[in-house]
Structure 1
C-alpha cells in the first residue's frame, strides 16, 4: 500500500490497456516546483509501491539539482524481451492523455529508450510529452550518456574528498547498460581501473583491469558479456560483484541491491549510487557507521539524466547539456559530502534536508498550507491492476 504524507503523492494512475493487455502505473508525487518529471521503466515484476518510491526519489532529485520540476515516475508491467516496447509505451500514453504533458512528462529509464519515448509522445499528440527522444525529433537522447557522465563526475568528486587518486582507483560496477557502460567509459578515460562489471548473466572480473572499449563492443554485438573470455578474466554470479575489494563501488541496476543479506560483505571504500534506491537508508547508515564507507546518494549522483531532460525541454544542444550536467553534479556532490563530514552527518540526511526545504518553500509560495490534495487515484481501462 502506498503511504501518503506531507509531500504526496498527489496522484496515482493505474492503467490497463484493453487493446494490448498492457498494465502500467504513473505516480505524480509532488509538483510544487513544477511539472512532474520522471522516467518510465519496464519490468515484469514492477509494482505501484516501487514506482511510488521512485517518484519520491525524483522529487528530491529534481529539487537537489535545483530544477523547476516536480517528481514523478512511470512503470510498465511487462517483460521487455517478450513485448513490443514501443506498443507498450503507446498503451501507457493512451491512459495518460489529459495528464501528459500538463502534469507529467515521461522519459527513458530501465528497458526504455529514445524509440519508446518517441512512440509515447506521438501517441499523446505532442513532442512535449516526453524527453530523451531521438535527436531528429528535437531530443537529447539518454543514449548520449548524460546519466553515466554525471555519475562519473560525482564519483570523481567523492574519490577526491575520500583522498583516493582517480588515476589507478579500482572500480566495480553493477549493471552494464546505458548508465553503467558510460560511467565505465568516462572513469577509465580519467585513469580509473574497472576491475568488475555485472549484468543479468553474471559478473566479469579481472584484477588487472577490464578493457572497457572491448566490453562495450561485446555488449552492443551480443547484448551480453557472458561469452567474453581472455587473459585472467573470470566469471562469477552477479551477486558476487558486491564482494569485490575495490576503491569505488557503483550499484547501477535494481532497487535494494545492497541489503541486510549482503551489506556485511561490502569491501568498497566509496559507493556512488547510479541506480535509484539501490540501498535502503538503514543499510546506508550501517555501511557508513560500521564500515566507514563514504556514500553518494542516488538522487545526487544520477541526476544527469533529468538535468538533460530539462535542457531538452528548453531546446538546448548536447554540448550545453554536458557542461551543465558536469557543473551541477560536481557542485551538489561536493556540497553534500563536505557538509556531511563537517557536521558528522550521513550524506543522505544532508541532501534530504536541502531538498525538503526547497520543496517546502515552493509549497508555501503556492499557498499549499498542507500538501496538495489527498492523493487522487485514477483508473483507466477495464479494471484496476
Structure 2
C-alpha cells in the first residue's frame, strides 16, 4: 500500500505518575505534516496505533484532488492505554500532550477519536501549553487567521441539536451505505440497520440513515443492545445519550427491548455498522452475522481473518479507510477553504465526495475481482506516487 511498511516514527511514552502508557506513530509526512486523531481506551497498543496511522495515510491519499486547496497530509495516530472514564484519565491526557508537544507543535495534527471529544482535546491541549492540536498545519495555510476563524465557525454550527463537526463523519458513513444500496438497486425503505455505538460517529450515522428512509432496528452501547424490529426512535435515543454515547434507558418506549451487548451482531438486518471499537468482529463471532453489508464506521472493527470468512459467505465489508474518512476530510476542506462554515455546503460536499469514492472503489473491486478493501488499497497505491512526485516522500 505504501512505499514501506515501517513508519517514520514509532514511540511509547510512560506516564511518570500513573504508569499508564501512550503511543504515537507517524506513518508518513506530506509537506512536513501528518494527520491523525488521538484515542483513549483501556488496552490500546502500539500495534493498534500503527495500524490506525497507516489507515490515516490511506484516508488522506484517497481524498487527493488535484487543483483543490486541501492537499492531503501524511498519516499518523496517537493512543493512550487508559479508560477515558477513569478518575485519572484527564491528567494522563494532559501529561501525554505535554510529552508529545514537540511533535504536535511541528508535524502531527491531531483531534478527537475513540474515547475523547474535540472539546476535551482542546481543553487539555491548552493546559499542555499548545496553541492548538492542529497547529502544525498552520504554516501551510495562505491566511491562518481566516482559516482558523472559518473552522471555529464551522464547529459552532448545529443542525437539530447536533454540531456539524459531529455530523460530518456520520454523513460520510451514511452516504457509503446509500451508495452500496443504490448499486445493488435495493430500496432504502426495505433496509434495516443495526449499529454498535451511538457516539459521535454512530449517532450521526443513525440519524442520516433514518432520515434517508432506512429503519434502525438495533443499537448497542456500553449497557447492552436496544432493539425494535419496527424501528427505534433514533432522535429520542440521541437526545438521551451521555458524553460517551450511552443511552438512558428511561427514554425507551414500551415496545423497545433490551438485549445483551453482543446481540447487535445477529440482528435481523441487511446492514451492520460497527461504529464503536476496533477488533469487535473476529473469526468466531462473524458466524452470527447474517447482514448483507458490514460497513466499518469504526477504525479496524473487522479482523482480517473475519473479513475473509465474511467475504466467502457473500457478505460485503466496506472498509474504514473509505467509509469513515469524511470527518478528517471535512476538517481540512474547511480549514483550507474548499468549503465554508455552512451545514448545507459541508454535508453536500461530503456526500458528493464519499459517493464518488465508494462508486470508484466498488467499480474497481468488481473489475479486479477483489474485495472493496483490496480495491481501496489499489486506489491508494495509484495515488501515493503522484503525491510523492509533487511533494516528496518525507518532506
Q: TM-score range by the shorter chain?
A: 0.7 to 0.9
What does residue 99 of structure 1 align with?
103
Residues 136/325 of structure 1: CA separation in 2 closer, same or farther (3 Å cut): closer
What does residue 129 of structure 1 align with?
134
Residues 86/274 of structure 1: CA separation in 2 closer, same or farther (3 Å cut): same
Alignment of 1:337-376 (within 5 A): 337-365=362-390, 368=393
| Cα deviation, residue 115, structure 1 | 1.8
Query: For 1:197 and 1:367, how far apart are their aligned partners in 2?
Result: 44
Per-residue Cα deviation, 1:83-124 (whole angstroms, up to 9, x for no partner): 365543322221122211421001111111122221244234
Query: For 1:272 and 1:229, how far apart are their aligned partners in 2?
Result: 26
Per-residue Cα deviation, 1:1-32 (whole angstroms, up to 9, x for no partner): xxx98143110132234366553111111124
What does residue 205 of structure 1 align with?
227
| Cα deviation, residue 168, structure 1 | 3.3
Query: For 1:308 and 1:101, how far apart are their aligned partners in 2?
Result: 22
CA contact (8 A) 1:128 1:313 kept: no
Residues 253/144 of structure 1: CA separation in 2 closer, same or farther (3 Å cut): closer
What does residue 354 of structure 2 align with?
329
Which of 341, 348, 352 aligns to 1:317? It is 341
Secondary structure at 1:354's aligned position in 2?
helix
Secondary structure at 1:311's aligned position in 2?
helix
Query: For 2:255 and 2:12, how far apart are their aligned partners in 1?
Result: 49
| Cα deviation, residue 341, structure 1 | 2.2
Alignment of 1:245-324 (within 5 A): 245-288=268-311, 290-314=312-336, 316-319=340-343, 320-324=345-349
Which of 105, 113, 117 aligns to 1:113? It is 117
RMSD of Structure 2 on Structure 1 (CA): 2.8
Residues 128/344 of structure 1: CA separation in 2 closer, same or farther (3 Å cut): same
CA contact (8 A) 2:282 2:305 kept: no
What does residue 79 of structure 1 align with?
83
| Cα deviation, residue 231, structure 1 | 3.3
Q: Which runs of no fewer than 5 residues in structure 1 stay unpaired?
A: 374-385
| Cα deviation, residue 351, structure 1 | 0.6
Which of 63, 68, 72 aligns to 1:65? It is 63
Which piece of structure 1 moves more, 139-148 or 199-208? 139-148
Residues 116/318 of structure 1: CA separation in 2 closer, same or farther (3 Å cut): farther
Secondary structure at 1:13's aligned position in 2?
strand
1:230 pairs with 2:230: no
Which of 10, 33, 37 aligns to 2:8? It is 10
Secondary structure at 1:62's aligned position in 2?
helix
What does residue 159 of structure 2 align with?
none
What does residue 88 of structure 1 align with?
92
CA contact (8 A) 1:36 1:105 kept: yes
Query: For 2:255 and 2:131, how far apart are their aligned partners in 1?
Result: 51
- The two structures have a TM-score, normalised by structure 1, of 0.86
| Cα deviation, residue 179, structure 1 | 0.9
Which piece of structure 1 moves more, 41-50 or 13-22? 13-22
CA contact (8 A) 1:108 1:114 kept: yes
Bigger relative CO (Cα 8 Å, ≥ 6 apart): 1
Residues 14/114 of structure 1: CA separation in 2 closer, same or farther (3 Å cut): same
Query: For 1:138 and 1:85, how far apart are their aligned partners in 2?
Result: 29
Residues 99/297 of structure 1: CA separation in 2 closer, same or farther (3 Å cut): same
Query: For 1:204 and 1:32, how far apart are their aligned partners in 2?
Result: 43
1:144 pairs with 2:142: no
Q: Which runs of no fewer than 5 residues in structure 2 stay unpaired?
A: 65-70, 138-147, 156-162
Secondary structure at 1:245's aligned position in 2?
coil
Q: How many residues align?
A: 365
